[in-house]
Structure 1
């Protein structure tokens, strides 16, 4: 059994159960792989990855709170459903996101080892559900990361367009930030993002408090609302329950889901921690801060701007000077978050394609450095295409939340913990076969209820994701019908 690097837990499952090994075992005898049995190249990779494990739980806190667009789409989300559903849904989804984050943390502690480290979300998927699930997870993760980076390029492009008073072509505003991302994307380790992530959190909090001040003393940006939604100026209207079409309500809910999208890279963060046991501290503190910041800011801005609330709230004020203050500060935090997404996304691609598929050099080698540079350039070029193709932050955010975030945050974690205990309790060590009845009903009554609860939680989350895909897809269609912005065009959406 491979040695676990967590001091408080020992690996409870044999490697032959949780990970397909490169060496073929003799029939009926699962292999025991030790570090001494590794080749020189494998030992070099192992030592290199150990050297990268330097992040603390405080760094994880900052990385998770940076791993969001900021709370600036929360007012739009609440404007689509109203006060009552907004508060209830943010609380329920926040509590469940914290719960599923703890599930991922627990699984990492159980399955990670020095010989076979868990580096990505896909590793967890493979060790429980097999190789096919690994590829599915990697593809879905890559889609989410590239769309997230494209979304941030889009939001920064909107900010730059407002700053220049629309004198610069909107597509050019987006491509500028793609070039900036190509520069900061050369950072390879999460530790190097620590001070950037730290500053981004405080800048985001500064934007919240400053924009709350000027939003309360400024009428809504009626012209921007007209461009975005096709609605004319009038009195601000708010309601406990908003009368909206089902697609708009679902898209609003998916924008709430976007707040809790960090779970997708939790295994990557854990893989770079000195003490993965401490992850729960940073994760729980980050989820609490995200919940409070999003909800309070969303309720405050919606109260003042009502149906005119924009997808990026601080852009919804009518005075240019106050728009510029929020936009300039938002540019800084946006590009830091985009850099984080790009860093993880390129690592996923590097491990899956360069190292595993083509048996290329390790990431920290000299050749790996050159390959990384090329992948950064390609990745951010694709991000520009995504950002310019759907020129509305609220619709693209809802789409990625439905297709990807719902799965990584709400569907996969309970499914993984169910699969973990199903295999552990139902597998016959002598034959390797699994008895499904024992897999579900073995153990104490509380353990059985725990497994059944997570099974139905995964099904419920998957059903909600399907509804979200319908709502967000319909919202995108309606957006192109009412918005003045077009794909790769010079007309800004705000």
Structure 2
């Protein structure tokens, strides 16, 4: 009777109102989707999208975006009795209907159904929460003045615009890929899931490794920026590395939050913290002299009159490297694409994601660029990174640092949350058959992983305590790939395979048979796949190669910058001497 017990336990879990039990069902669903045909995945995704159109998925999306966002309407209300009744009716199975206790088919159907319902129950985020989560990235606005100072007014504005348009397009591609491939039966939870559906599990493992690296480097950059801010508040007193460690320890505490939904309120708060820092910084620099001491410590710029340029010109490799590093800092402003899939996977209406992303991109471009231009106008070559630390008045400098530190730790907590989950589900759970993070053992594992994660971030931040070059390197190696390089080649692969199906017979959903007329070992399938959308395919390949070349240039410039910085003695690993004051 073991199979009947499984059915009963699943039914009991589904009708339970405990959300954590439902989330556990979803997280423990470790199905291997790689043996399933793309035709079946596309069929289930199409059914899912039609279902979302017809069902009542909680309260409607906000009609007055900013008014509702200010009120903090981040997550749609969970459906009440009608939803719970539908779940229970789907999952409850009469013992008499099982035939005999060894009938695997009859057992697997209610289990799969319950997992589908569990996947639905954990999707509660609205597009308003997506807006907040995307714009929580503290590194974008604070790096904007530095980027403009290295490029000039015109190149800085144009590059912000071009990178913004490209980021909006790639975000649109990821949104379309999610809608095309995601379903309750075969849900997508991460960027790597999409890559795995298109190019296979081995490619997915490589992307997961890079995503884990980016997230931990993001945490390291934020930890370094916070340590730099705390050192400035202490007027250079105390060991610089120890101050970085303080924020690593705080991150270990904040990182104990497991649910992404619980970051909704904190992300809401972080946005308004960022806005305060932006406004306060612009107001202060317009009335005060630059922070000459901080500029001399971080960039070696000597005291003198403020100089600005429409176009920053300079000969030699050093000027070229600094401008490329500035471009990589601009990339940071649009670096949210890596977690777009995670956000969509928790939305009740994934179709509404485009609204949140569009608002976020528009906010980033408008506010960040104005911030960069205004601060550069008043501080010129004395702009430092992060820009709020260039305020010379100690009182306002400290106030902005405090707010900035709190906002940054929220962003770091979000990155760490996603990064640990990706690492755990992609590697630890599959390789070592570890338990779900929602189990009792999983709680202890999560605590241990958070401590290790932040400890590694501390080592990275202390070993490379040069803020601008570290952000540039992370932008070139990781962020640029997820935002600009991967999405077009992923779209190419998806379009390529879908186009090849146009010559096949109709898909049989009952028997789950894909009636293909040829295989990928035949040249005819390759030719047909490319010819159907040849212009779009060619454009996506060119986009991919251009982004890859830009990433290589960014890595070169950041690497050279590190070499010069260490050679000149400006940067020293695990130092007690603070670069700012």
Q: TM-score, normalised by structure 2?
A: 0.77
Which residue matches 1:303? 377
Q: Give the alignment partner of residue 96 of structure 1, picking from 166, 176, 194.
A: 166
Q: Take 2:567 and 2:109, find their aligned partners in 1: how far apart are those partners?
A: 60
1:432 and 2:522 are equivalent in the alignment: no
Q: Give the alignment partner of residue 531 of structure 2, picking from 437, 441, 455.
A: 441
Post-superposition offset of 1:293: 1.3
Post-superposition offset of 1:39: 8.3
Can you give the 5+ residue segments of structure 2 that lack an aligned partner in the other structure? 1-39, 53-103, 505-515
Which residue matches 1:404? 478
Q: Take 1:233 and 1:272, find their aligned partners in 2: how far apart are those partners?
A: 51
1:186 and 2:273 are equivalent in the alignment: no
Post-superposition offset of 1:273: 1.1
Post-superposition offset of 1:430: 3.7
1:341-383 deviation per Cα after TM superposition (whole angstroms, max 9, x unaligned): 0011001011112322222222322222221111111101111
Alpha carbons 2:565, 2:571 under 8 Å: kept: no
Post-superposition offset of 1:152: 0.3
Which residue matches 2:543? 457
Which residue matches 1:198? 268
Which residue matches 1:372? 446
Q: Does the C-alpha gap of structure 1 residues 326 and 343 become closer, same or farther in structure 2, counting only changes over 3 Å?
A: same
1:195-245 deviation per Cα after TM superposition (whole angstroms, max 9, x unaligned): 000000011001111111111111111111111112211111110111241
Q: Does the C-alpha gap of structure 1 residues 335 and 198 become closer, same or farther in structure 2, counting only changes over 3 Å?
A: same
* Secondary structure of 1:190 counterpart: coil
Post-superposition offset of 1:115: 2.2
Post-superposition offset of 1:143: 0.9
Q: Give the alignment partner of residue 84 of structure 1, picking from 154, 165, 170.
A: 154
Q: Take 1:164 and 1:370, find their aligned partners in 2: how far apart are those partners?
A: 36
1:284 and 2:362 are equivalent in the alignment: no
TM alignment of 1:478-493, pairs within 5 A: 478-482=564-568, 484-493=570-579
Q: Take 1:430 and 1:449, find their aligned partners in 2: how far apart are those partners?
A: 25
Which residue matches 2:19? none
Post-superposition offset of 1:473: 0.9
Can you give the 5+ residue segments of structure 1 that lack an aligned partner in the other structure? 11-33
Instruction: Point out which structure has higher relative CO (alpha carbons under 8 A, 6+ apart).
Output: 1
Alpha carbons 1:35, 1:43 under 8 Å: kept: no
TM alignment of 1:121-160, pairs within 5 A: 121-160=191-230
Q: Take 1:124 and 1:329, find their aligned partners in 2: how far apart are those partners?
A: 36
Alpha carbons 1:67, 1:340 under 8 Å: kept: no
Q: Take 1:40 and 1:163, find their aligned partners in 2: how far apart are those partners?
A: 59
* Secondary structure of 2:288 counterpart: coil
1:19-49 deviation per Cα after TM superposition (whole angstroms, max 9, x unaligned): xxxxxxxxxxxxxxx9977488877765554
Q: Take 2:433 and 2:111, find their aligned partners in 1: how far apart are those partners?
A: 11
- Of structures 1 and 2, the larger Rg is shown by 2
Q: Give the alignment partner of residue 293 of structure 2, picking from 223, 228, 233.
A: 223
Q: Give the alignment partner of residue 490 of structure 2, picking from 403, 416, 423.
A: 416
1:212 and 2:289 are equivalent in the alignment: no
Alpha carbons 1:74, 1:295 under 8 Å: kept: yes
Which residue matches 1:162? 232
Alpha carbons 1:69, 1:337 under 8 Å: kept: no
* Secondary structure of 2:308 counterpart: coil
Q: Does the C-alpha gap of structure 1 residues 250 and 291 become closer, same or farther in structure 2, counting only changes over 3 Å?
A: same
* Secondary structure of 1:471 counterpart: helix
Post-superposition offset of 1:476: 1.6
Alpha carbons 1:220, 1:317 under 8 Å: kept: yes
Which residue matches 1:466? 552
Alpha carbons 1:103, 1:413 under 8 Å: kept: yes
Q: Take 1:81 and 1:127, find their aligned partners in 2: how far apart are those partners?
A: 40
Q: Take 2:339 and 2:148, find their aligned partners in 1: how far apart are those partners?
A: 26
Post-superposition offset of 1:432: 3.2
Alpha carbons 2:251, 2:412 under 8 Å: kept: yes
Q: Does the C-alpha gap of structure 1 residues 189 and 36 become closer, same or farther in structure 2, counting only changes over 3 Å?
A: farther
Q: Take 2:105 and 2:410, find their aligned partners in 1: how far apart are those partners?
A: 38
Number of residues of Structure 1 aligned to a counterpart in Structure 2: 467
Alpha carbons 1:403, 1:469 under 8 Å: kept: yes
Q: Give the alignment partner of residue 329 of structure 1, picking from 374, 389, 403.
A: 403
Alpha carbons 1:204, 1:333 under 8 Å: kept: yes
Which residue matches 2:129? 59
